[in-house]
Structure formats: C-alpha cells, structure tokens
Amino acid sequence: MFGRFKKSKNQESSLSQQQLSNALAQVSLPHWPTPVPPEWITVDGQHAQLTVPFAADNSILEPLKQHPELGQLSWSLQRNIAKLPNSQPELPMTFGNVIVVSSGKGGVGKSSVSVQLALALHQLGANVGILDADVYGPSLPTMLGGQEQKLEINAQQKMIPHQRHGIWVSSLGYLTDTKDAAIWRGPMASAALQQLFRDTKWPRLDYLIVDMPPGTGDIQLTFAQKLPITGAVIVTTPQTVALADAEKGITMFRKVGVPITGLIENMSYYQCSQCGHRDAIFGADGGANVAQREQVPLLGQWPLDARIRAGLDEGKPLVAEQPEHELSVMMKNSAYQLAVELYRQAQTRQPATR
C-alpha cells in the first residue's frame, strides 16, 4: 500500500496505482538493496513525495525522476529519520541514533573522519551532534574551531554544547586549556566520558557521532557496555599494522553486542594535485579486504589529501566550506551509506520505533 494515493479534483495523476506499483518495482534507490518500498511514496495529483527514514539529500530522487513513467510526476523529498534500537534497550533513546567512530590504533584519522561524517549527515538533512570522547587528546575544538569559547553550564549543571558549522559539539577541549594534559587512570577517564555524554544538554538529535579514543581498552569497553549505541564505524588505513588493530576493534564490538555499521578506509591513496597520479602509500585495498573478510560494509575509501588536512587544521572543514567539492561529495556519499546501512541493519534485527 502507498502512504497516500490521491487523485486531486483539479489535477489527476497521470499514473494509476497499479502503474505506480509496477514502476516502483523496477527502481532502486542508491545503496538501498531492494526496490523502493511503496509505503515511502505519497502521490497527490501530479506531485509525488518520497519519505525516507534516514538522512538523504535530493540526489536520492534521481532514479525516480529518470524512470520513463515515474518521471512524469513532480518529486519532492521528506525525511522522517527513525530512532533505531540500540545496545542498551532499557535506556531511553534521548540522544537519537548513537554512532561510535572507532579505531584499533591511533594515527589513522579517526577524528577527521568523525567530523566529516557528522557535517555530511547534517548536510543530508539531519540534526547532528558530535561528542569528543577522546578525553586524553580532544581534537574537535581544533577541527571545528572556537577553541577559545568555553562550554557554558546551566542552572541544572548541564553543559550547553557549541554549535559549529550547523552541528552540536561537546568536548573536554572546550572546558580546559589547550595545553593542559589529562592525566587520568582508566576508571577516571571512563567516568569523565560518561559524565560528558550524559550531562551535555543535547537538543533533539537524529544522530550523535561519538569520536572514540583509539584502542580497545577500559574506556571503549565501558562506553560500549553502559551507554546506548546504535552502531559502530571502524576507521583504518590500508597498512598492515592498522588492519590488525581494526579487526580487534570489530571483535570487541561484536562481543559486547554493538553492530558494526561499516568500515572506512582512510588515507587509501595519495593523489598528486598537479598530475593526478595516484600512489598507494600505505598499501592498496587493505581496509576493503578486511571489510570483505569480516562481512562489514565498506563505506568508502578516502584519500590522503592536503585540502582535507588544511581545512581541519584551520577549523574550517572542507565538507562545510566547499560542500560541492568532489572530495566533499565523496564524504557525503559515505555518510549517506552510513545512514542507509544503520537503518537497514536495524530492520533485520527488530522493528524501528519513531
């Protein structure tokens, strides 16, 4: 059944419901594995609306517009982003869909991936927050800017997150001096992280990206076991030493019941800005091979590129400053795949709630 199929008195639809059903059975949306679910479609006269339960932009409409019959309708997009089951079902889903971005080791660009994914999801129409869970070395204030602006504490002792480039941000880096070192043992760091998570007064969010500290130690286990996580994204480079640690991270999350939403192979290659030659500095397709071996979706292979680095160093991420840049489009595609995969995996486990 369609969400609504209505023939207006002033303008009747050029397609019957049967014609629509037959046409939709022939069309698939980008990265959606089956034909378009009819319940996502509303038709009123010559206007048709696609309502999706995940973040997406208008490019998702292209297969519908290009179909010879469906293209006769005027299409628009509506997002009704679903709140999905998480790893702690007894806890209220206060924070939207919580996505942890993790790596087995440092130096693979996990924080830069977290920032670009959060910004990309925002550009895909979602209300997004990002939590800097790397309490030993918080880097989001540098990457998103506003280091000099400290977090405010309200009368209820809740931290008010900053809004940077359209997303909400909470980080210990906005509470301490940039040169201060966090000298904490594991339990203290774990407690600080939980407090930062729970005592930030987040607005209503569709997605909360958590930039995790590297490794598979006490902090990661505490977060995975005590806080509601919808899915995890693993970041690795193609390098052999990074791949082994990425697989450890996948194993850890699976042991504590956190679904692996996907893997991003960062620094996949270097492309010369002058001649266009590509050089696989850290090896070729290592992350892609791990994703295939572990049966984890590959969300993207991101290059090592000075433009991405420079934007983050200046607190002006490329995705935010130049959303139409080819690198930004690539990262938005990964964010879209993440949103789709998060919803698709939830459907295979149990029904989503809204």
Residue with tokens 């297969």, as numbered in its chain:
63
Of residues 165 and 174, more confidently modeled: 165
Of residues 6 and 336, more confidently modeled: 336
- Kindly provide the b/e burial profile for residues 38-71, where b requires at least 16 CB atoms within 10 angstroms of the residue's own CB: eebbbbebbebbbebbbbbbeebbebbeeeeebe
Reported as a pLDDT band with limits 50, 70 and 90, residue 93 is low
CB 151 within 8 Å of CB 170: yes
> CA-CA distance, 263 to 292, in Å (whole number)?
10
Percent of the chain with pLDDT over 90: 48
The yes-or-no verdict on residue 5 having pLDDT over 60 is no
Between helix 218-226 and helix 240-255 the angle, nearest 10°, is 40
Q: Tell me what the pLDDT averaged over the chain comes to.
A: 85
In the chain, DSSP assigns E strands to: 4-6, 41-44, 47-52, 74-79, 97-102, 128-132, 152-153, 159-160, 162-164, 167-171, 207-211, 231-236, 260-265, 270-271, 278-279, 298-301
The yes-or-no verdict on residue 232 having pLDDT over 70 is yes
CB 171 within 8 Å of CB 204: no
Cα distances (Å, whole numbers) of residue 136 to 59, 188, 200, 233:
39, 11, 18, 21
Backbone phi and psi for residue 231, each to the nearest 5 degrees, phi listed first: -165, 165
The yes-or-no verdict on residue 7 having pLDDT over 50 is no
The yes-or-no verdict on residue 218 having pLDDT over 90 is no
| Residues 11-24: tens digit of each pLDDT | 566 678 888 888 88
The yes-or-no verdict on residue 334 having pLDDT over 50 is yes
Hey, what are 120's tokens? 């990309």
- Kindly provide the b/e burial profile for residues 280-318, where b requires at least 16 CB atoms within 10 angstroms of the residue's own CB: eebbbbbbbebbeeeebbbbbbbebbeebeebbeebebb
pLDDT of residue 220: 75
Task: Rounding to the nearest 10 degrees, give the CA dihedral for residues 105, 106, 112, 115.
Answer: 70
pLDDT of residue 350: 56
Of residues 128 and 160, more confidently modeled: 128
Backbone phi and psi for residue 299, each to the nearest 5 degrees, phi listed first: -85, -15
Please give the average per-residue pLDDT across 227-243, as a whole number.
Answer: 89
The yes-or-no verdict on residue 277 having pLDDT over 90 is no
Spatial neighbors of 182 by CB under 8 A, at least 6 apart, are: 135, 136, 137, 172, 176, 189, 192
